[in-house]
Structure 1
Amino acid sequence: MKQISFLHAADLHLDSPMVGLKHLPANILSRVRESTFTALRRLTAAAIENNVDFVILAGDLYDGEDRSIRAQSRFRNEMQKLSQKDIPVYVIHGNHDHLSGSWVHLDMPSNVHFFGSDVEMKVFHTKRGDTVHLYGFSYIQRHILDRRIDHYQKQDSADFHIGILHGNEGGGTDHDNYAPFSIKDLLEKEFDYWALGHIHKRAILSETPPIIYPGNLQGRNRKETGVKGCYHITLNDLEVKKEFIETSDVVWEEVTVDAASAQSFQEIFQLCQLTIERLRKAGLGTLLTLNLKNVHINDFQEKKILDTELLELLIDYENDEEAFVWVVNLNLEDHQQLNRKKLTNEADFYTELFATIDDYQNPETAIAPLYQHQLGRKYLTSLTEEEQKELLGKAEKLLIGLLYQ
């Protein structure tokens, strides 16, 4: 029976700067910044352990077009491990690590095969004698907005045809609409497998043939929640086997705790502790956004330490934990006594304040200096409508809290 086995990964974003986390303790920050490399090592180990025929990396190996020497060196070391096991690697570059960037090149081992800027085919022969045709292209520049899918065509006869594509399906708004395609487009190509990249959330778009986004290897911010990894795929004439392999070393999570039943600081603290223990994962670090809703505390002193000391208590002993759960964001639902209706009844000033907030349409104007900064231009993306609303909401809560003091 003809059969192939391979790993499909995408969006490694090696050496991602993990911005906004400088407040973390040094040992946890170091582990977070090392996490993309840890995920790569776990990918390599999985390829060797499963004795796969080859590995597919579907774009965005590096986080930036400059491809740091450290990232290239780490990647080369892992590829050499695969080379020693005679495992080839097929790579396309995406919008983050496009071919027009400027970087100091490090040569890669001969088992690493890069696709050029035009859709091309590479031929692989397994040790069992099966023939695989792999099709793909690398981004020549950051913005590829045309339908490259139209250039994918089966060539000659092969036992398996695999398409590799870094792009956006269906015109979704969460990611830039690069190299757009539809599921129908991919099905019409009659390939045996589509290895996708670009979307950082794991998704199986089709079972027959498999059309898969594996997500990224390691979450890099609070929007990329949950355990990340890659797929081990086994294809033969009769079936497809899909095994998800976890690679992330640090996991982002967000939970909401209903504190309606809590009547004191101690009870709220215990609710938070129970939540943290429930989220603790053996061998993994967790960065947690914790939302507390329905907070009702009447005692002034307890209410004060809730605002100022709860977070400090929750992270007090996490620094020494290998399986740490570090609360990076603690959000308290608006105290009931600070709601808009009550405040507008207290003073006309609040009525004018809320009217100004409601009329404010473009928070990006206020943070324009960040985007004009050299690093800001490099790493920041435009805010979505949801992110703008969230930013305004946080600004309103902060302002009201300061004024009400």
Structure 2
Amino acid sequence: MKFIHAADIHLGNPFIGLDQTLPNGLKKLVQQSTLTAFKDLISSSISEKIDFLVISGDLYNATQNSPQIQESVNQQFERLNRADIAVFLSFGNHDFEANKQSHLAWPKNVHVFEQSVETKYLTLKTGEKIALTGFSYQTQRQTKKVINDFPVKTETTDYHIGLYHGAIGIDGDPYAPFNVGEMLRKNYDYWALGHIHLRQKLNDQPFIGYSGVLQGLNRKEVGEKGYYLVTSKNHVLIPKFHAISPIIWEELILSEVSDELDLINQVLNYKSTKITFLSVKITAQLDNLLNQRLASGTTLEKLREKTPMNLWIVNLTTAHEMLNLLAEDNIDQKYWLESFETVFSNFVISDYVSNQAPTFVRDYFMGEEGKKSLQNKMQQLIQSRKV
């Protein structure tokens, strides 16, 4: 048996917040990157001759999607249909009602999980019997512990696979909370998790883990992204990661910088074989002249003129730009800065605002200007509370 576990493809992700000076060629690549990764996933499924494809939530970035995206999805799933490859698809918190919206009919090989836990069955050409249990989100916030509704594996199936879009937590948490022990008690052979964009393993045998996104969606989602190709060996399902993202986000931290020329040379020494969007963070102490050139964007412009075509410098930031707020407090600035940046870099307005909110409100707070406004407000709040 062989199948692919993918999740969090986020077709239609707008990639808001990139610099307006981004060249048109790169801009088009970014805008098409999730779709490009999805098409490559389908091609890999066919070339690997898998038995079926599992997508554990957030195929789309939103509940409603453009006719162009729907057409592309239909075409790609039809390619799998012609190759006799089944698709098992659930929807997550981003696309929770996508199946209830007006859309093209699914090809006959596509099996969509409804908004309550259900089990679907597949018999392979080898005669092996596969059970797949999953669900699609009922609302944008799935606070119920859906794991309790999953049945225990029975002896009538050779392999039982769980599709679960959620996060470790307790009852009342917003994303289908679960814990590893609860999954282990179901006796499944594999848990294909979605929702967390970072690829990670929660348990070895049976495997419980997140495949992560196919394509990094912002500068915090660094490194290669892709899917798991899962094969059976001695009746154990073993995943192997395959990178597929057309664009890589990376971060370069410079702790020692003598002057502007040194800074530029250090960045130019960064080697990348794929198209890479690089964020450069400077933690070194800089003189006033270089700080002024960085603040004005002069150094960034100069650097972009010198970098190769496959490398785009997203931004140049210095540690002191973010916070000197608590310099006199007994808080390690390094950890404070990392925590502060993490909170606001991962902020997604769609997780906190009703679907009925105007699009321009969402777009503003997902952009750099909106995030900066929130950062400033938080800084003011912290400053006002300092003793």
Question: Structure 1 length as normaliser, TM-score?
Answer: 0.78
> Is 1:252–2:235 an aligned residue pair?
no
Is the 2:281–2:316 contact (alpha carbons within 8 Å) kept by the matching residues of 1? yes
> Is 1:7–2:22 an aligned residue pair?
no
Q: Which amino acid aligns with 1:204?
A: K
| CA distance, structure 1, for counterparts of residue 101 and residue 325 of structure 2 | 53
| SS class of match (1:60) | coil
How does 1:123-162 map onto structure 2 within 5 Å? 123-153=121-151, 154-155=153-154, 157-162=156-161
Q: Which amino acid aligns with 2:375?
A: L
The 1:381/1:192 distance shift into structure 2, 3 A limit, reads: farther
2:223 corresponding residue in structure 1: 226
> Is 1:314–2:303 an aligned residue pair?
yes
Within the candidate set 315, 327, 330, 1:329 is matched to: 315
Once the two structures are superposed, residues 211-252 of structure 1 have per-residue CA deviations (whole angstroms, 9 ceiling, x without a partner) of 010001111112211111100001243443321111111111
| CA distance, structure 2, for counterparts of residue 316 and residue 42 of structure 1 | 31
The 1:101/1:326 distance shift into structure 2, 3 A limit, reads: same
| CA distance, structure 1, for counterparts of residue 365 and residue 184 of structure 2 | 32
Is the 2:189–2:236 contact (alpha carbons within 8 Å) kept by the matching residues of 1? no
Is the 1:234–1:241 contact (alpha carbons within 8 Å) kept by the matching residues of 2? yes
Count of residues paired in the alignment: 349
Within the candidate set 95, 106, 109, 2:107 is matched to: 109
Q: Which amino acid aligns with 1:268?
A: L
| CA distance, structure 2, for counterparts of residue 85 and residue 381 of structure 1 | 43
| SS class of match (1:37) | helix
How does 1:141-290 map onto structure 2 within 5 Å? 141-153=139-151, 154-155=153-154, 157-170=156-169, 177-260=174-257, 262=258, 264-274=259-269, 277-278=270-271, 280=272, 282=273, 284-290=274-280
| CA distance, structure 2, for counterparts of residue 149 and residue 27 of structure 1 | 45
Is the 2:64–2:98 contact (alpha carbons within 8 Å) kept by the matching residues of 1? no
| SS class of match (1:55) | strand
Q: Which amino acid aligns with 2:249?
A: W
| CA distance, structure 2, for counterparts of residue 92 and residue 122 of structure 1 | 12
Within the candidate set 277, 291, 298, 2:281 is matched to: 291
Shift of 1:103: 3.4
How does 1:16-95 map onto structure 2 within 5 Å? 16-21=13-18, 23=20, 24-95=22-93
| CA distance, structure 1, for counterparts of residue 293 and residue 44 of structure 2 | 47
2:383 corresponding residue in structure 1: none
Is the 1:66–1:102 contact (alpha carbons within 8 Å) kept by the matching residues of 2? no
Shift of 1:36: 0.3
| SS class of match (1:290) | strand
Is the 2:207–2:238 contact (alpha carbons within 8 Å) kept by the matching residues of 1? no
Is the 1:197–1:214 contact (alpha carbons within 8 Å) kept by the matching residues of 2? yes
Larger Rg over CA atoms: 1
Deviates most, 100-109 or 249-258: 100-109
Once the two structures are superposed, residues 248-296 of structure 1 have per-residue CA deviations (whole angstroms, 9 ceiling, x without a partner) of 1111112211124x1x32222212222xx33x1x2x2222211112233
| CA distance, structure 2, for counterparts of residue 74 and residue 128 of structure 1 | 32
Once the two structures are superposed, residues 373-395 of structure 1 have per-residue CA deviations (whole angstroms, 9 ceiling, x without a partner) of 7225556889xxxx899924997
Shift of 1:41: 1.2
| CA distance, structure 2, for counterparts of residue 201 and residue 105 of structure 1 | 30
| CA distance, structure 1, for counterparts of residue 305 and residue 196 of structure 2 | 35
| CA distance, structure 2, for counterparts of residue 56 and residue 341 of structure 1 | 47
Q: Which amino acid aligns with 2:194?
A: G
| CA distance, structure 2, for counterparts of residue 381 and residue 235 of structure 1 | 45
Is the 1:226–1:253 contact (alpha carbons within 8 Å) kept by the matching residues of 2? yes
Is the 2:9–2:58 contact (alpha carbons within 8 Å) kept by the matching residues of 1? yes
| CA distance, structure 2, for counterparts of residue 140 and residue 218 of structure 1 | 26
Is the 1:100–1:140 contact (alpha carbons within 8 Å) kept by the matching residues of 2? no
Deviates most, 160-169 or 99-108: 99-108
Is the 1:193–1:210 contact (alpha carbons within 8 Å) kept by the matching residues of 2? yes
Deviates most, 123-132 or 14-23: 14-23
Q: Percent identity?
A: 33
| CA distance, structure 2, for counterparts of residue 259 and residue 168 of structure 1 | 38
| CA distance, structure 2, for counterparts of residue 7 and residue 217 of structure 1 | 12
| CA distance, structure 1, for counterparts of residue 209 and residue 326 of structure 2 | 49
